[in-house]
């Protein structure tokens, strides 16, 4: 029974069948299957889409739909984990947001979704986030990584201000900082004192893993 559910769940995920994924997640709970084990099946599906993407056989809408499908399946599984008090490990914690003055959410959303789908815990602060909000979130959630996004050349300098605030708050050595967005370059990232930059959401996931020495 478990094998059948897992087999169907895997196929439903890679076909982006949100309804079926949710139904199968619920069925797995009813059958008493460990939700952590069920989540690993969903992760396997996400990995396959990720591999296809790297080979040029899948595109961003595939990745995003797969991640959204997984998120829908995760709903009941997450409830079950909390109800049973099961301890769920994550690869690490990421606080993410689009910087002040910038209302663009898509790139940040892609990174947030893919990082989450890959097993990180994500605290998404949304858009138009000023340095105070970033600092408050770092102090509240104690993340491993701070990720900032800016699409506009006019808002990119805001990242430097956040990093300066992180330095002044005395918490710079507790976190790794990654930056990204349409107007960001490697040179800019280095100039403002970020620890890393990647041009795409998929590579941002690899960078997050690299920061935390995860293979």
Residues that bind another protein (CB under 8 A): 56, 59-61, 101-104, 106-107, 110, 128, 152-158, 160-161, 164, 182-183, 185, 187-188, 191-192, 199-201
d(C-alpha 153, C-alpha 93), whole Å: 28
Nearest to another protein of 133, 157 (CB atom):
157
- 121-124 vs 145-149, strand pairing mode: unpaired
Distances (CA, A) of 130 to 43, 99, 126: 33, 6, 11
CB of 60 to another protein, least distance (A): 5
Q: Name the burial class of residue 126, with classes exposed (0-12), middle (13-18) and buried (19+) by CB atoms within 10 angstroms of its CB.
A: middle
Residue 102: count other Cβ atoms within 10 Å of its Cβ: 24
Nearest to another protein of 2, 161 (CB atom):
161
CB of 152 to another protein, least distance (A): 8
d(C-alpha 138, C-alpha 38), whole Å: 31
Nearest to another protein of 29, 129 (CB atom):
129
Nearest to another protein of 47, 185 (CB atom):
185
Q: Which of 13, 182, 30 is nearest to 111 (CA)?
A: 182
CB of 54 to another protein, least distance (A): 10
CB of 61 to another protein, least distance (A): 6
24 contacts 1 by C-beta, under 8 angstroms: no
Nearest to another protein of 79, 183 (CB atom):
183
CB of 175 to another protein, least distance (A): 20
């Amino acid at each position: 029974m478990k094998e059948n559910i897992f087999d169907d769940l895997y196929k439903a995920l890679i076909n982006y069948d949100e309804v079926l994924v949710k139904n199968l997640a619920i069925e797995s709970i009813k059958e008493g299957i460990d939700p952590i084990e069920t989540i690993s099946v969903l992760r396997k599906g996400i990995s396959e889409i990720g591999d296809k993407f790297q080979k040029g056989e899948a595109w961003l809408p595939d990745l995003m739909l797969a991640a959204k499908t997984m998120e829908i399946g995760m709903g009941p599984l997450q409830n079950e984990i909390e109800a049973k008090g099961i301890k769920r490990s994550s690869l690490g914690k990421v606080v993410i947001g689009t910087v002040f003055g910038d209302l663009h959410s898509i790139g940040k959303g892609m990174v947030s979704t893919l990082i989450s789908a890959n097993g990180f815990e994500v605290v998404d602060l949304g858009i138009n986030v000023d340095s105070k909000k970033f600092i408050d979130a770092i102090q509240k959630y104690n993340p491993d990584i701070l990720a900032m996004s800016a699409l506009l050349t006019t808002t990119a300098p805001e990242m430097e201000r956040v990093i300066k605030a992180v330095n002044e708050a005395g918490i710079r050595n507790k976190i790794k900082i990654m930056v990204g967005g349409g107007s960001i370059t490697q040179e800019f990232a280095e100039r403002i004192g970020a620890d890393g930059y990647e041009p795409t959401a998929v590579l941002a996931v690899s960078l997050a893993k690299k920061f935390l020495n995860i293979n």
